[in-house]
Amino acid sequence: MATATETPVQVTPERILQMAWGYVPPLVLEAAIRHRVFDVLDGGPKTVAETAAATGASVRGLTAIMNALVGLNFLSKEGHARYGLTPESSAFLVSTKPGFQGGLIRHCSEHLIPRWLHLNEVVASGNPVSAVNDEKSGAAFFHDFVLDIFPMSYPAAQFLGAHVSFGSDGSPVRVLDLAAGSGVWGIALAQSSPRVHVTAVDWPEVIPVTKKTSARFGLADRFSFVEGDLHDADFGSGYALATLGHILHSEGEALGKKLLAKTFRALAPGGTIAIAEFLVNKERTGPVNGLFFAVNMLVNTQNGTTWSVEEISEWLREAGFTDPRTIPSPGHSPLILATKP
């Protein structure tokens, strides 16, 4: 209770009313991406009528979503008439730009939100309606999903390539790309040094995507593929570097630790493990994206969640790794590295 000398904190229901419409931003963004609004505005500011003519969408529909996008600062509005891109939408929402993040947004209405609609029952039971960590339902989901999240990790993967700096001279260097998906980590590492040969591991349904993407980058002859479940597949051994891109969160603690121990065995002495993850602080008070992603794992996996750097570092030590450390990266979180002595 406030005393006479304290100013009472003014609370308003404004934030709660905003939360009631919390599904609006991703769905408005998806509609704008699907109707090519950002692509069309990349050619210069336009009126709604001009945007309708260029996209084939309705004037009424575009008026509503383009104004909402102005409210969300994804579009600017000159006077009452012309809408333009902001620096952020220009960099990340135009489909022809290398930084395009709209692939993920495009999955909101068909794949992501329908699963979240079961959150009430999932919280009651503690179990997902269907689990993407299970090959039966996960492989089809990831087949369609992994290419669209390529831009999310490509800058961080390029940064890792520069950090490990294998250079251009010397004997071949073998890299193990675990849960490869699009192959984004292996692709950037192969591009970073002609010495690198990548072994990519993923489910048989997803490996064709890895093959197609690595071939599109002209790297087909620098990749080998292992089709199978991470927990059964033979990784081989003698690798200088192993990447675990966005896989620990769907595994849960027991399988995550097993995977780290198996990765340790596959590395050569002196080899490095590199982990990309959505992270939370050890008190689990933030960052909010990491806390949200833990709910996403509740909805979509049997035991998945998000972890702190401290927890993952402890698991790495238990697996035999030394010097767990983070390096800042241009991705959503720092990368966690450790060394096999």
Ligand X SMILES: C[S@@+](CC[C@H](N)C(=O)[O-])C[C@H]1O[C@@H](n2cnc3c(N)ncnc32)[C@H](O)[C@@H]1O
Binding site for ligand X (CB under 6 A): 133, 138-139, 142, 146, 149, 153, 179-182, 184-185, 202-203, 206, 229-230, 245-247, 250, 276
* Shortest CB 154 distance to ligand X, Å: 9
* Shortest CB 231 distance to ligand X, Å: 6
> How many Cβ atoms are within 10 Å of 60's Cβ, its own excluded?
9
Quote the CA–CA distance of 128 and 123 in Å, as a whole number.
Answer: 9
Is 226 or 240 the residue whose CB approaches ligand X more closely? 226
Is 204 or 286 the residue whose CB approaches ligand X more closely? 204
Is 55 or 301 the residue whose CB approaches ligand X more closely? 301
DSSP string over 83-144: EEE-HHHHHHS-TTSTT--HHHHTTIIIIIHHHHTTHHHHHHHSS-SS-TTSHHHHHHHHHH
* Shortest CB 270 distance to ligand X, Å: 24
* Shortest CB 135 distance to ligand X, Å: 7
Instruction: List, in order, residues 6 or more apart from 186 with CB less than 8 Å away.
Output: 175, 177, 180, 198, 200, 210, 214, 223, 243
Is 180 or 260 the residue whose CB approaches ligand X more closely? 180
Is 31 or 206 the residue whose CB approaches ligand X more closely? 206
* Shortest CB 162 distance to ligand X, Å: 18
User: Whose CA is closest to 297, among 338, 256, 243?
Assistant: 256
Instruction: Copy the structure tokens of residue 124.
Output: 């009651």
* Shortest CB 338 distance to ligand X, Å: 18
User: Whose CA is closest to 242, among 265, 197, 269, 273?
Assistant: 273
Our measurement of the distance from residue 98's CA atom to the centroid of its chain's CA atoms, rounded to an integer in Å, reads 15
* Shortest CB 59 distance to ligand X, Å: 38
CB 217 within 8 A of CB 187: yes
Quote the CA–CA distance of 66 and 278 in Å, as a whole number.
Answer: 31
Is 42 or 135 the residue whose CB approaches ligand X more closely? 135
* Shortest CB 182 distance to ligand X, Å: 6
Is 24 or 140 the residue whose CB approaches ligand X more closely? 140
| 228: region left, alpha or beta (phi > 0 left; psi from -120 to 50 alpha) | left
Burial 251-283 (b: 16+ CB within 10 A, else e): bbeebbbebbebbbebbeeebbbbbbbbbbeee
Helix (H, G, I), strand (E, B) or coil at 19: helix
CB 335 within 8 A of CB 274: yes
Quote the CA–CA distance of 265 and 251 in Å, as a whole number.
Answer: 19
Is 246 or 340 the residue whose CB approaches ligand X more closely? 246
* Shortest CB 44 distance to ligand X, Å: 33
Is 28 or 160 the residue whose CB approaches ligand X more closely? 160
Q: What is the DSSP letter of 48?
A: H
User: Whose CA is closest to 113, among 203, 232, 29, 169?
Assistant: 29
